[in-house]
A and B are shown apart, each in its own frame.
Chain A
């Protein structure tokens, strides 16, 4: 088994079983619906005549610059374009792909193929995508220097290849994506922050198509990690229902920020599509100035009566599993629904079943009014080494929680 390169085959001469020249190889096709990595067809250009297509089982010999067929020219089909074929030159070479293992966007310099002789014919399988200097040098020198010289040069250069399994193609046409069997399962397994970095390297249509093909949960998490201008650009191009579905998956504070960044008409449309519960939460958050504690907080937090025992609280959390977004602290309220304490979940964990939660609350109780300036919030986090901070309204009732990740995001933006 030896390694061939797609650019060595492209432009090569094709001969039929009788040794007659048929044409030049102008394109290689993969049929993902059949085999994900096999070169299924060779397009043979014949100048002013219609191009022909050789199927893989009609090919008996492949070497750089030449292929031989085991049939006569008249047995070959005429070429008819097929959306379900992945074209190596047009769709892959020089295009950007996502390296799902290295978690970044890279550009394809060449494609490495492995030869597999199978009962008299030769199958080529795509093994790797070359994104490094070796491919670049080959592309540059082909036809200008002897193949042995090119191979010699290549050995001196560091190789950078990505295994074909880890290659995620970027195709912005959703129909073609289905035909080519491009899924984004591997993207969905990535950390949203990595995915967001990848999105920033892509063009607007490419971003749009990837977000559209992700599940709502992943899409929401990824959008929350993107910079706000990009997020609003993406959301504005979505159908309002779809945008609303994704916003509902986000933490309410992030969703409110996205909503506020949209143009008035679009934000109205998206808002109309939200479920009334989410809509109310977001409307609540949108009341606050962006740079106040209210503008930073989320409304996903756990609130319990101060008279409860540890066991009751843990049961409550268990029941609400999945709904309580941030679980650093559990907040306590008194009979007037006023904030009366905060209990670290770590302390709750080690406390005995019957202990009253009011006995293990953190001292002192730290909180801010919703209209507090973001600077005050930062100072409190710094002073008390907080991970989350309760926000109360004018009556002392808890309305939300600011978490440390929001603080870090904002501080970093000010750097």
Chain B
């Protein structure tokens, strides 16, 4: 065969061949699209509805009925804008947020951000284990049995499983959040009224209302998620080609997060608020109070949702915190390393779980103070991280054409401003109105 002949044959083979191989990959691509890219955003937003979150949402529904539902839409916008910024930074730079902060702002600011993050996340981990404790007590199991087992399972699950398997488990767990939907439906709410308050804002200027609003925003938009999300996208090697999928992931996460918050508020508003029980101590109280009003099933579902949320967040938070701190400060990190290779990472991880879980078991431990402190630290932390993010994402040398649009800058800026104001409210309340801080 002459040269031209060979080339023609090659062309024929190639066309058939590439098509054949593509075909073989198509199923993988479809499944992969969901598992490989639809991941970090969905997980992050759902871990958001953790024990502290559920308590706050329950309280919002119990105390103010449907009144606070309007805040969900602005919160969704703020959540989407900030998370999308992370996705875009991951695509443009291929680096995690802690890496970027370290490289562009130096050691000391990074250290400050990391230490604050550690305090905030330790507080959150305490809240998660407190959530496990109260959920299991509804099922009749003592916290002295439940919390150590949960802590050990979480510790082992992450350290022994490979990262990929762990994340698949987490993704599957996301579907259990449907529990809140059923719980809300069983509570027979006034859907029309709920819809009306979601769209039309009702603003009150009393301390209780503002405090609850502060807690609501603070528990929904937390900086650790930015770090976790961006690291997740970097680890998944999201390139420019996968950016639209990454954004879809962020949108899916934001919406599913807000829908769940909606159902939690609606279910407590329809029952507790409607029957005049405005004050509950937390999510567990909410579940117990649901029994006579909405039936045992609604209550059990609610408690199950709380347990799931607490475990879910308890397995992600310590891991991501240890990761972010080590990466920012330049220590080896990641569960792919052996203990000897990354001792600081493993120690941080273990300390978070042992101290976080242990505090729940100490009789008379100042849990409430720890939670308030971590909430305040979170409020301080968020604007700082957001300002770092805004500065980074407007740098053309880092981002190229993917710098922020003015709209995004305004929304992100407003979010940090709101957070500063709300944090001041929170600090004022913690200092001068002890007992007035809700949701803990």
Contact = CB atoms under 8 A, between A and B. Distances in A.
A140 B108 contact: yes
Given A229-B237, A280-B9, A136 B18 contact: no
A386 interface: no
Contacts of B111: 136, 139-140
B103 A280 contact: no
A95 B103 contact: yes
B212 to A, nearest CB: 38
A203 B93 contact: yes
Interface stretch (A217-225, A259-267, A347-355): A259-267
Contacts of A290: 21, 24-25
Nearest to A200: B237
B330 A109 contact: yes
A288 B25 CA distance: 12
A271 interface: yes
A287 B17 contact: yes
B106 interface: yes
A131 interface: yes
Interface string B305-336: 00000000000000000000000011000000
Contacts of A415: 162
B172 interface: no
B34 to A, nearest CB: 15
Nearest to A136: B329
B288 interface: no
B142 interface: no
Interface residues of A, number: 43
Given A95-B103, A260-B21, A286 B13 contact: yes
A283 B95 CA distance: 37
B330 A131 contact: yes
Interface in A258-299: 259-260, 263-264, 267, 271, 276, 279-280, 283-291, 295
Residue with the highest number of chain B CB atoms closer than 10 Å, among A140, A263, A279, A283 = A283
Contact of A291 (B3, B14, B24, B108): B24
B10 A140 contact: no
Contact of A106 (B21, B107, B108, B330): B330
Nearest to A141: B108
B369 interface: no
A205 interface: yes
Interface string B87-107: 000000111000100110011
Contact of A286 (B9, B21, B95): B21
B9 A267 contact: no
Residue with the highest number of chain B CB atoms closer than 10 Å, among A107, A271, A289 = A107
B103 A139 contact: no
Contacts of A295: 21, 24
Interface string A108-148: 11000000000000000000000100001001100000000
B362 interface: no
A289 B330 CA distance: 43
Interface in A199-248: 202-207, 227, 229-230, 233, 236
Given A140-B108, A203-B93, A286 B330 contact: no
Contacts of B18: 259-260, 264, 267, 286
A323 interface: no
A78 B338 CA distance: 51
Nearest to A89: B106
B96 to A, nearest CB: 10
Q: Is the interface of B mostly helix, strand, loop or mixed?
A: helix
Contact of A107 (B6, B25, B102): B102
A287 B20 contact: yes
A94 interface: yes
Interface in B1-25: 3, 6-7, 9-10, 13-14, 16-18, 20-22, 24-25
A204 B94 contact: yes
A365 to B, nearest CB: 28
A288 B108 CA distance: 56
A96 B94 CA distance: 13
Interface residues of B, number: 32
A279 B330 contact: no
A139 B330 contact: no
B20 A276 contact: no
A94 B239 CA distance: 25
Nearest to B23: A289
B6 A280 contact: yes
Contacts of B20: 286-289
A203 B95 contact: yes
B6 to A, nearest CB: 6
Contacts of B108: 139-140
B102 A94 contact: yes
B30 interface: no
Given A203-B94, A204-B239, A283-B17, A94 B25 contact: no
Nearest to B14: A283
Contacts of B93: 203
Given A140-B111, A260-B21, A289-B24, A94 B103 contact: yes
Contacts of A136: 107, 111, 329-330
B102 to A, nearest CB: 5
A279 B10 contact: yes
A41 B231 CA distance: 38
B340 interface: no
Contacts of A204: 94, 239
A260 B22 contact: yes
Nearest to B101: A94
Contacts of A131: 330
A271 B239 contact: no
B118 to A, nearest CB: 14
Contacts of A233: 237, 239, 241
Nearest to A285: B17
B32 to A, nearest CB: 9
B10 A276 contact: yes
Given A204-B239, A283-B17, A287-B13, 10 more contacts: A94-B102, A94-B103, A108-B330, A205-B94, A206-B94, A227-B237, A229-B237, A230-B237, A264-B22, A279-B14
Interface of A: 93-96, 106-109, 131, 136, 139-140, 202-207, 227, 229-230, 233, 236, 259-260, 263-264, 267, 271, 276, 279-280, 283-291, 295, 415
26 contacts: A94-B102, A107-B330, A108-B330, A109-B107, A140-B107, A140-B108, A203-B93, A203-B95, A204-B94, A229-B237, A260-B25, A263-B241, A271-B14, A283-B13, A283-B14, A286-B13, A286-B14, A286-B18, A287-B13, A287-B16, A287-B17, A288-B20, A288-B21, A290-B21, A295-B24, A415-B162
Sorted nearest first, the 10 A-B pairs with minimum C-beta distance are A203-B94, A107-B330, A286-B17, A283-B13, A139-B107, A204-B94, A287-B17, A260-B21, A283-B14, A233-B239
